[in-house]
Structure 1
């Protein structure tokens, strides 16, 4: 026998990422945990693709979620989706880590080169290295501004072709063409086989 006042109640839909961010902004730890569980694989995947090193990718992902916790009050649903907001933070932080790592490596390399030069007084190699760097810079000047920008973002900035396309607001095919044509021109200028 069914009681007339008892009706089947449909379960409430799960909270959206936007709902969770709003609750995180109020200090709701359970909402933060749910948000972390929902989006951390996506965030880690993006970071891993940029940073490449698994341990550093985990560190950057943790930093991003600390930032999400601290900055949740700044999220504005009228400006975009919560996942996009988080992924923009993730991309920025991952690129910063790559740049910092590259700068550290370059510093270490410069220091190593300096120590090598100091200890062995290898003037010839120093001159050759400087001349080669100047040749590459000179060859880069022969490229169009669009080719230079695309190559610098892709090869020196660590961005993917899609990310370069987004930054330059051009189709990804255009970016690939600029990079390919620029690299061919560099190869010809430098006389590399």
Structure 2
């Protein structure tokens, strides 16, 4: 299916430049081109599903989230900013965020069920204190993450929240493995400093 647009995007040696191809496809998607959307879907669906599945494990839920991701791609394509990274990194970050949201929603339901069960046994449970503590810790980490470069943030999100190996992160971001290792190392050092964690 990649033939129609791929034929227009060739480098001199005849090899398709995937990042450029994805950018052209997304720009066409932004103008409502359904054919370009189908090509982009075919090009990236397996990678998106693989990432989502590594977070969710459940195949049916992973397929649902993958469909949600591509719906979001269709709806938000006009807002994509090429200066902030590659199309595949943008979509993979979106997929990771949606997968994590699904995990949190499931966990929230389990936690609620557990609290109800605890209350049924009249065990003391300080929901407010736990919620405040979790919220404060999450806010600290989110603030610290904003101090990272966009490239470090993408790599850390995929590796530590997405559970991807360094090689998988490199593939998702279309960068060499050595670059990913450097971004992860530098990002972790920066996070440690921001959070005040002793080395």
Q: Is the aligned partner of 1:169 residue 2:193?
A: no
Partner in structure 1 of residue 32 of structure 2? 27
1:33-72 equivalences in 2 (<5 Å): 33-72=38-77
Deviations 1:51-99 (Å, cap 9, x if unpaired)? 1111111111111000000000011222211000101111111111111
1:159–1:32 CA distance, 2 compared to 1 (3 A): closer
Q: Is the aligned partner of 1:82 residue 2:60?
A: no
Q: Which runs of 5+ in 2 are unaligned?
A: 1-6, 11-15, 134-140, 145-159, 170-182, 193-199
1:10-21 equivalences in 2 (<5 Å): 12=8, 13=10, 16-21=21-26
SS at match of 1:169: helix
Please, what TM-score do these two structures have when normalized by structure 1?
Answer: 0.57
Partner in structure 2 of residue 94 of structure 1? 99
- For the 8 Å contact 2:52–2:62, the answer to whether it is kept is yes
Please, what TM-score do these two structures have when normalized by structure 2?
Answer: 0.56
Partner in structure 1 of residue 153 of structure 2? none
Deviations 1:3-46 (Å, cap 9, x if unpaired)? xxxxxxxx543670000000000000000000000000000100
- Following TM superposition, the consecutive aligned residue runs of length 4 or more in structure 1 with deviations greater than 6 angstroms are none
Partner in structure 2 of residue 154 of structure 1? none
Structure 1 distance, partners of 2:119, 2:33, is 53
Partner in structure 2 of residue 140 of structure 1? none
Q: Which runs of 5+ in 1 are unaligned?
A: 1-10, 118-122, 138-145, 150-156, 175-193
The Cα shift of 1:159 comes to: 5.6
**Max Rg structure:** 1
1:161–1:17 CA distance, 2 compared to 1 (3 A): closer
Partner in structure 2 of residue 4 of structure 1? none
Higher relative contact order (CA 8 A, sep 6+): 2
1:101–1:169 CA distance, 2 compared to 1 (3 A): same
SS at match of 2:188: coil
